[in-house]
């Protein structure tokens, strides 16, 4: 198993990516092979400082970096020697089994959509956001911002993708799915929610429990919450800002500590043909380690194959 890791992505690259790789390799009993994509000189130098278990990694030189604020499509096209472009090339050619980056999110999405491509039958791949609950569990909210305008059918597909992820990767049997709405009864909400409800209700691939409201997001009401990416992104950013405020005000609370989304590593792009994990720009070592573990879990559980089968059966 080969996991490609973009060493140049994120605010603290490549140092934190190296630290994450070191932590993973030293803790895993039978580690996967890591393909470390980045500036060879810099990565080599860092490995002196943070030694990696020998024999379990290969450095793949990338002479370019796509910066956080570059235009995704343009940058990917023009910077063929960037770590992100190389990562997708390795993934597309089968040399890597998963690709992880905390770099330019847009470029990661464009790469996932255009080089790895959506699974047949899926019109809109999605990324989610983890919503912590007081009982220690997590909910998966999707879409978290890549699909700002959605059709009912998109939300219906997000529901299936989210359910399969939560079931296989989080080991939750028969995960519950709710539609985020502004009212509990069927028929409530905006036109999109009204039209989505019957689709979810009829969808035999999911366990739909109905509408939930904004007040229910942090309660353990549904394992999977679906909404369009505009609302989803506002929710995610708002939750992140709550964590910032909690920290700024010096509040120490074990629940609100779990609003530090960095700790979860990253989120998978669900609905594309290979495992692609996107990390937060501020990712540190533990996040990179967690993203490697998530990529391995997705590969080992054959999530992508299971998604493919679900959509083929429809």
User: Which residue, 227 or 304, is less far from a second copy as judged by CB?
Assistant: 227
Q: Which of 189, 265, 268, 279 binds a second copy (CB under 8 A)?
A: 189
Asked if 135 is part of the footprint of a second copy (rule: CB under 8 A), the reply reads no
Shortest gap between Cβ of 51 and a second copy (angstroms)? 38
- Smallest distance from a second copy to CB 182, Å: 4
Nearer to a second copy, 24 or 264 (CB): 264
Q: How far is CA 151 from CA 18, 65, 141, in A?
A: 41, 35, 17
CA distance 18 to 289: 10
CB 16 within 8 A of CB 288: yes
CA torsion sign for 287, 288, 290, 291 is positive
Give 144: exposed, middle or buried? Use CB within 10 Å, 0-12, 13-18, 19+.
Answer: buried
- Our finding on whether 257 is near a second copy (CB under 8 A) is no
Which residue from 174, 187, 242, 312 is in contact with a second copy, where contact means CB under 8 A?
A: 242
With contacts defined by CB under 8 A, name the span among 70-78, 116-124, 214-222, 270-278 that binds a second copy: 214-222
Strand partners, 99: 4, 276
Helical ranges in the chain per DSSP H: 15-27, 40-49, 72-78, 83-92, 105-111, 152-169, 191-202, 229-248, 254-257, 285-300, 303-313
Among 214, 300, 302, 309, binds a second copy (CB under 8 A): 214
Q: Find the binding residues for a second copy in span 166-185 (CB under 8 A).
A: 180, 182
Choose one: 111-119, 157-165, 188-196, 285-293; the region binding a second copy (CB under 8 A).
188-196
Site membership for a second copy, residue 128 (CB under 8 A): no
Contact between residue 175 and residue 182 where contact means Cβ atoms under 8 Å apart: no
Cα separation, 177 vs 174, in Å, equals 9
Q: Which stretch binds a second copy (CB under 8 A): 2-10, 49-57, 238-246, 284-292?
A: 238-246
| Interface with a second copy, residue 108, by CB under 8 A | no
Burial of 129 (0-12, 13-18, 19+ CB in 10 A): buried
Residue with smaller CB distance to a second copy, 39 or 223: 223
Residue 138 binds a second copy, judged by CB under 8 A = no
Our measurement of the distance from residue 176's CA atom to the centroid of its chain's CA atoms, rounded to an integer in Å, reads 20
225 three-class SS: strand
Q: Which two tokens stand for residue 104?
A: 């330019």
Alpha-carbon span 188 to 176, nearest angstrom? 20
> In the complex with a second copy, which residue's Cβ is closer, 113 or 169?
113
Q: Which stretch binds a second copy (CB under 8 A): 48-56, 197-205, 229-237, 277-285?
A: 229-237
Q: Does 278 bind a second copy (CB under 8 A)?
A: no
The Cα diameter of the chain in Å comes to: 61
- Using CB under 8 A as the binding rule, whether residue 216 contacts a second copy is answered as yes
CB of 5 to a second copy, least distance (A): 27
Residue in 74, 238, 302, 309 binding a second copy, rule: CB under 8 A: 238
Assess 215 for contact with a second copy (CB under 8 A): yes
Binding site for a second copy (CB under 8 A): 134, 145, 148-149, 180, 182, 189-191, 193, 213-219, 227-231, 233-238, 240-242, 244-245, 248-249, 251, 253, 255-256
């Amino acid at each position: 198993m080969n996991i490609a890791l973009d060493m140049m992505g994120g605010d603290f690259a490549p140092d934190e990516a190296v630290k994450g790789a070191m932590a993973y390799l030293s803790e895993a009993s039978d580690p996967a092979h890591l393909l470390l994509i980045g500036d060879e000189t810099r990565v080599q130098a860092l490995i002196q400082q943070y030694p990696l278990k020998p024999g379990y990694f290969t450095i793949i030189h990338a002479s370019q970096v796509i910066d956080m604020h570059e235009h995704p499509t343009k940058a990917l096209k023009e910077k063929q020697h960037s770590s992100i472009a190389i990562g997708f090339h390795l993934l597309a050619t089968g040399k890597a089994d998963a690709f992880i980056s905390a770099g330019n999110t847009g470029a990661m999405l464009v790469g996932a959509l255009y080089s790895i491509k959506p699974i047949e039958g899926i019109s809109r791949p999605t990324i989610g956001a983890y919503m912590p609950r007081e009982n220690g569990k997590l909910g998966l909210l999707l879409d978290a911002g890549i699909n700002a305008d959605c059709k009912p059918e998109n939300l219906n597909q997000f529901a299936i993708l989210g359910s399969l992820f939560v079931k296989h990767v989080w080991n939750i049997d028969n995960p519950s799915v709710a539609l985020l709405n502004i009212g509990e009864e069927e028929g409530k909400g905006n036109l999109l929610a009204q039209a989505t409800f019957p689709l979810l209700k009829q969808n035999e691939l999911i366990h739909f429990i109905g509408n939930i409201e904004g007040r229910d997001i942090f309660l353990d009401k549904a394992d999977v919450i679906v909404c369009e990416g505009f609302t989803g992104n506002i929710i995610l950013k708002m939750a992140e800002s709550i964590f910032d405020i909690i920290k700024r005000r010096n509040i120490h609370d074990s629940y609100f500590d779990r609003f530090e989304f960095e700790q979860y590593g990253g989120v998978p792009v669900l609905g594309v043909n290979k495992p692609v994990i996107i990390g937060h720009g501020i990712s540190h070592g533990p996040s990179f380690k967690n993203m490697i573990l998530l990529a391995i879990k997705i590969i080992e559980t054959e999530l992508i194959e299971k998604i493919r089968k679900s959509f083929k059966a429809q």
